[in-house]
Structure 1
């Protein structure tokens, strides 16, 4: 259904932060009128500056009311948008009119949600070693989202970069190396973009990463619980 009414379109993500590189997608938020459906993607694409068109376009579609609700609930994605959007089409300054999101209160719940996904990885990769690349990509997703949520309590402001796990303050450093993390990121991108999977990713690699991360995330949860007691 492409009969919707476009209210606003905004770049966010690594491009919005000014941190994009050859691995980055062009993340675009498209806000449409409630109940009207999407607009033609070509319309959104036509708004993109020429210097950004080589990047792979990834559009996130939201209705007006849903975004307003997210800001009222203080959801982490609302803070993501509040910190780093660049308007492409914004005739009514929609996001600016929403103001600052309310306090983010779901840090522990969001960490627990991705911790649960992480905990299921050993079983899946043990059942079938051909799942190793996919499960390694899931490690990237879980670790990044856990770190983004934790950054609310442990950093001066939420960190939505892909390397947020290596920038947390007041807690032990991430127990996997940057090169190992980037290998999991390559696994995720291989699945999303249909690229050849990286070499060196097998069941033992995935299980080794999981073993190190499991205890680190458990300790991180305890640290966040302490922060919550102090009202952060």
Structure 2
């Protein structure tokens, strides 16, 4: 077994809203690892993801630290550099679909507004992260959409509302989001949609 930390704790960006992301690399028959505390992957699955250049393994390759090794080896380091990430077009299409469905639900009424805002954030953040890997400038932080080029052209204050929604939805942490804040996100929905479309155009040009 090999245990790794990854994410914000390895980037040095940990704060009160952060959790500590942990990966457990196991043989297929291992059953003692708590799935609520670890992302659990078999060695064979990780090798397969390495071969196709999956964004998650690029994250692990660039931002993980070995915590425990049962054989004193560093399994991920021995895998070397992942293959080139090539699924950008299909991934951006999926994130655009998630954004569109979540936006439609948000505009349809106040029910589940926090969840829908959280999904909007997830679509934006993941699109930015995948695009950054594709162009060779990986960016994995919560604020990836503001840090890449082309950056998402909304204010940091509105972006932070989406971050808060994600933390509330996934961890139950943070201050509640007001109707006025929801309305401010609704006001920039078309700006976000245009930006997502622009990322797809940029991938077609490369």
Same fold (TM > 0.5): yes
Partner of residue 110, structure 1: 91
Q: 2:181 and 2:16 mapped to 1: Cα distance? A: 26
- Residue number in structure 1 paired with 2:67: 88
Moved over 6 A (4+): none
Indicate which of 130, 136, 153 corresponds to 2:117.
Answer: 136
Distance in 2, matches of 1:226 and 1:40, equals 44
1:9 equivalent among 3, 9, 24? 3
- Residue in structure 1 matching 2:15, options 17, 21, 24: 21
Q: Normalising to structure 2: TM-score of the pair?
A: 0.90
Superposition map of 1:176-195 within 5 A: 176-195=154-173
Q: How many residues align?
A: 203
Deviation digits for residues 7-44 of structure 1, max 9, x if unmatched? 1000000111222122111000111101x143243xx9
What 5-or-longer segments of structure 2 have no aligned partner? Answer: none
Partner of 1:62: 41
Cα offset for 1:203? 5.5
Larger Rg: 1
Distance 1:201 1:148, change over 3 A: farther
Shift, 1:206, TM fit: 3.9
Structure 1 residues 203, 18: closer, same or farther in 2, change over 3 A?
Answer: closer
TM-score normalized by structure 1? 0.80
1:73 matches 2:52: yes
CA drift at 1:58: 4.5
In structure 1, stretches of 5+ residues that fail to align are 1-6, 45-56, 228-232
Residue 197 of structure 1: how far off its partner (Å): 2.5
